[in-house]
Amino acid sequence: MENNNQKVIRISRKKLIISLVILAVFGLVIGIILNSLSTARMKSAPSIETGMAPLISDGRFAYPDYYNEQSDITATREFLKTSYSATLKTRDVSEVVKEVKNAIRDVEGRIDRMNSSEKYGQISFVVPKSRFEEFRSEIESLTYAKLYTENISSQNLLSQKQGIEEQTENILSTLESLKKQKDDLALKHTQVINSINREITQIRAELANVRSTMAGTTEPSVITLLRNQESSLTGQEIIQKQKLSGENNNYAVQNQNLERLIINENNNLTNINKQDSQFANNIETVNGTVRIYWISVWNLIKEYSPIPPWILIILIIIMGRYWLVRKGYLSRIELV
């Protein structure tokens, strides 16, 4: 029931319109300022290198050059490396950071880096690919759908795998060639040594005959001839012994060089096998980063309100005044 004793405030229509326009402009400016401050706060949040592929402007991940090499179009094998990035908004950053840590450990993942403050948190991690969907669902459940965004990117690292396979093939081919050279060297060395030893054996046999004949004669001219033969054969034996020593030394040097090259290639094979193992481990894991931002009540209302919050506030004020006027607690306003 209307109160007859209720005071009446008369306001000019023109002044009211001007006041409403000023209020609308003021509310719009305040909304823009608050939105800018919120955006600036999010952009100024500390950044931590994650070890994963960095995001570029359109939300995709930027990979190193060797990831982007084009493979043969007929090659259909897939070696997908998955990267994950998520952003959560919450009123309690420290609690959500704790929940993210627990989610990583629940799937037997590894935390690489972590940063947590009152209004910002970031965790970089690695989780097994086999349990990635389980982990992803857990992270998604930590906040409301409108406060959660994610980016999942997969890249086929076939070219990197092919590079490892090519290096392995080259090393194995080189090893096979070196081992063959070593075997051929040993065979040739044996043949040369046997030939020299036969020459030495023959010379020694002739020396024995000459010395035996020389011991059984007293003829001076014959003895002189035999001594000349003995001297010649002795010289030949010395030459053959020198050839034997030279062959052994030459073989030892060449064989040692081949053995060193074989050891180097075996080390290269060990390293490339290690790279292949690391590649396989890399493929079977997901690198990721979860960023947690504190959200104000104002921004929370903006996320869920179908109309701008400042308009909602004005409507609430108008409805509240209307109710108070109806109850007689406030004066009625009449336009003149």
Model pLDDT for residues 255-271, shown as the tens digit of each residue: 999 999 999 999 999 99
Give the pLDDT of residue 133.
94
SS (H, E, C) the chain: CCCCCCCEEEECHHHHHHHHHHHHHHHHHHHHHHHHHHHHHHHCCCCCCCCCCCECCCCCECCCHHHCCCCCCCCCCCCEEEEEEEEEEECCHHHHHHHHHHHHHHCCCEEEEEEECCCEEEEEEEEEHHHHHHHHHHHHCCCCHHHEEEEEEEEECHHHHHHHHHHHHHHHHHHHHHHHHHHHHHHHHHHHHHHHHHHHHHHHHHHHHHHHHHHCCCCHHHHHHHHHHHHHHHHHHHHHHHHHHHHHHHHHHHHHHHHHHHHHHHHHHHHHHHHHHHHHHHHCEEEEEEEEEECCHHHHHHHHCCCCHHHHHHHHHHHHHHHHHHCCCCCEEEEC
Length of the chain: 336
Lowest mean pLDDT among 20-29, 144-153, 238-247: 20-29
Taking the CA atoms of 86, 90, 93 and 97 in sequence, report the sign of the dihedral they define. negative
Residue 245, both tokens: 């020593």
CA distance 207 to 215: 12
**Chosen CATH of 65-161+282-298 out of 3.40.390.10, 3.40.50.720, 3.90.480.20, 3.30.70.240:** 3.30.70.240
CA distance 6 to 263: 105
Task: Select the more confidently predicted residue: 331 or 250.
Answer: 250
Cα-to-chain-centroid distance, residue 285: 10
Give the pLDDT of residue 258.
96
pTM confidence score: 0.62
Q: What is the mean pLDDT of residues 110-131?
A: 94
pLDDT tens-place string over residues 215-240: 888 888 888 898 898 899 999 999 99
pLDDT tens-place string over residues 126-177: 999 999 999 999 999 998 888 999 999 999 999 999 999 999 999 999 999 9
Confidence tier at 48 by pLDDT (50, 70, 90): very low
Lowest mean pLDDT among 96-100, 194-198, 298-302, 303-307: 303-307
Taking the CA atoms of 31, 37, 42 and 43 in sequence, report the sign of the dihedral they define. positive
Q: Are 237 and 204 in contact (CB under 8 A)?
A: yes
